[in-house]
A and B are shown apart, each in its own frame.
Chain A
Amino acid sequence: MDMQVAKKKLGLKEKYQVMTRGLDWEPSYQKKEDIYPYASYEGIKIHDWDKWEDPFRLTMDAYWKYQAEKERKLYAIIDAYAQNNGHLNVTDARYINTVKLFLTGVSPLEYMAHRGFAHAGRAFPGAGPRVACLMQSLDEIRHAQTQIHALSNFNKHYNGLHDFRHMHDRVWYLSVPKSFFDDAVTAGPFEFMVAIGFSFEYVLTNLLFVPFVSGAAYNGDMGTMTFGFSAQSDEARHMTLGLEVIKFILEQDPDNLPIVQRWIDKWTWRGYRVLTLVAMMMDYMLPKRTMSWKEAWEVYFEENGGALFKDLARYGITMPRCAETIALEKDHLSHQAWGTFYNYGAAAAFHTWVPEKEEMDWLAAKYPQSFDKYYRPRLEFWREQAAKGNRFYNKTLPMLCQTCQIPMLFTEPGDPTKICYREVDYQGSKYHFCSDHCKEIFEHEPEKYVQSWLPVHQIYQGSCFPEGTDPSAEGFDPLAAVLQYYHLEFGRDNLDFEGSEDQKNFDLWRGQATKNG
């Protein structure tokens, strides 16, 4: 690293004062309430915005300097990776499906985070959080851009990555991360900060990035590893912002506690449900595994999250109640999720497969309570059938949870043989949920969640066919029309990995790279 340490004129603390609050001013000809119209309607009471301080004391001048250095390092590696056909160094081509899921499911959320933090920063009357939100907003657009740049290299060679932005707004499983973030950005600025800044960034983001990025490193994907770590280097600052905001809000007024606790309960659960995708990625989609989902949950949530909530107990905050349900799900989550994608492998923009025998043995060792008893028989049956040319593709659309929008695949807490059904009657109509927690979230704000754009229902309403489609025409094939609407090419982007174009190309190219032609 080539960086000069400037001769300091001001210490860190003084510089922070000058470069944040020192740049703020009191309005003289407009009312504060008119300038900050969203600062009070959520019921959060703030008496002294100056009590908020960034413990890193990062100022914009230093921010630009370090971010520029990160970008230079990142793009040097991405270029080298592309020039050397780095994609051929991954363990096997199944790995690339994790990248597809990430680009279509997560990268668009980075862009939404950019918008969300820009909005929250604008809405807060305090200079400290405003500057921190500005930095995070810039970080997030950087994450979106670097991910798109890094992953575009894969798009040159593999299927399913060609129209990620279009897919994000339409494809059934992508409605899960999309609706999660839409829910957050349509809340007020304080709820957004608790939702994304605290619950997602502080409590859950380690579970997304650290295993994913470590997994990329372990599977030979240097490009993804590099953008992942580059994004993650901002994450420490984001986590800090999330934690400081919570502490600040709670210190400002005792009336804030119940509101904040409800948001933490809600958003820990909402975020955890989105991580269902990460759970299956870790246990099923990485050819070389780093740690199981269950282990990651134990380290990053139970251990670190446990320490966090113990620390917050002095404000009256308690561990979200959903943690008990999550503990009961950790032996089952990834298996149930992968089974779902295997079911609907004809409608996904990535490939699915049955794990190899050694992989099943790894799963059995990591999940001694559950894998052999409940999941191995299912997977082995599917493998036998596929070998007979009868690969299972579920063609009937599933029932979805009104809140998290995930198919109703989760089982009763404590009984992995029974689907968990919950329902509510609201204004003469029925609404269905995957869990007590999704049901409670709905019950608290039914006016919001009755608007859920549930992909299955939208298909049945006829909203998911290409423009000009006539569903009453002779021989109309609804599945084909829905895939066209998704921009998902049947036979290339979807179906089993076995026999896919990705598989054939990777074998061919790797052969050319390692042998004389």
Chain B
Amino acid sequence: MSTVFIALQANEDTRPIIEAIAADNPQARINEAPAMVKIDAEGRLTVRRASIEDRIGRGFDLQELHINLISLSGNIDETDDELTLSWHA
């Protein structure tokens, strides 16, 4: 299985997002670099709106991710509830 990743700026907006990703994707590895966090996962990674909302205590639109997104890899599928990164091979 190939690795997918998502990289986010390290700031107060992204702290709960990173926590949510870590909780929802037990296979994910969190790598901290200067001013950014890169999250690698084998094959697949899911960002769930509900998990983020639980942590921030307000409604969250997954497209808000764009503000702090640095990079990613994998095929993307986004709905109102989830953003998924995956490789087919």
Contacts and interface: CB of A to CB of B under 8 A. Distances in A.
Asked if the two chains touch in their complex, CB atoms less than 8 Å apart, one says yes
Interface of A: 1, 3, 5, 8, 11-13, 55-58, 62, 66, 69-70, 73, 205-206, 209-210, 213-215, 217-218, 225, 229, 232-237, 239-240, 243, 290, 303-304, 306-308, 310-311, 313-314
Nearest to A57: B78
B73 interface: yes
Which 5 pairs, one residue from A and one from B, show the smallest C-beta to C-beta distance? Answer: A307-B2, A217-B35, A5-B59, A55-B76, A217-B34
A13 B75 CA distance: 17
B9 A229 contact: yes
A235 B2 contact: no
Given A229-B9, A304-B3, A1 B67 contact: yes
A314 B89 contact: yes
Interface of A is mostly: helix
A314 B34 contact: no
Given A70-B67, A236-B71, 5 more contacts: A56-B63, A243-B75, A304-B73, A311-B2, A314-B88
A3 B69 CA distance: 17
Interface residues of B, number: 35
Interface of B: 2-5, 7, 9, 13, 33-36, 58-61, 63-64, 66-80, 87-89
B78 A56 contact: yes
A339 to B, nearest CB: 28
Contacts of A229: 9, 35-36, 70
A509 to B, nearest CB: 25
B33 A239 contact: no
B3 A303 contact: yes
A307 B67 contact: no
Contacts of B76: 55-56, 240
Contacts of A236: 66, 69-72
Of B36, B71, B77, most A-chain CB atoms within 10 Å: B71
Contact of B67 (A58, A66, A210): A66
A311 B88 contact: yes
A214 B89 contact: no
B39 to A, nearest CB: 13
Contacts of A225: 35
Nearest to B62: A12
Contact of B64 (A1, A13, A57, A232): A1
Contacts of B75: 55, 243, 311
Nearest to A56: B78
B34 A210 contact: no
B79 A311 contact: no
Contacts of B68: 233
Of A233, A235, A310, most B-chain CB atoms within 10 Å: A233
A66 B88 CA distance: 30
Contacts of B79: 11-13
27 contacts: A1-B67, A3-B61, A5-B61, A11-B80, A55-B76, A56-B63, A56-B66, A66-B64, A66-B67, A70-B67, A73-B67, A209-B70, A210-B70, A214-B36, A229-B9, A233-B9, A234-B66, A236-B66, A236-B70, A239-B73, A243-B75, A304-B3, A307-B2, A311-B87, A313-B89, A314-B88, A314-B89
Contacts of A62: 63
A307 B87 contact: yes
A307 B3 contact: yes
Contacts of B77: 55
B72 A239 contact: yes
A296 to B, nearest CB: 11
Contacts of B60: 5
B70 A58 contact: no
A210 B7 contact: yes
A12 B5 CA distance: 23
Given A12-B80, A55-B75, A66 B34 contact: no
Contacts of B35: 213-214, 217, 225, 229
Nearest to A67: B66
A234 B68 CA distance: 9
Contacts of B63: 56, 58, 62, 66
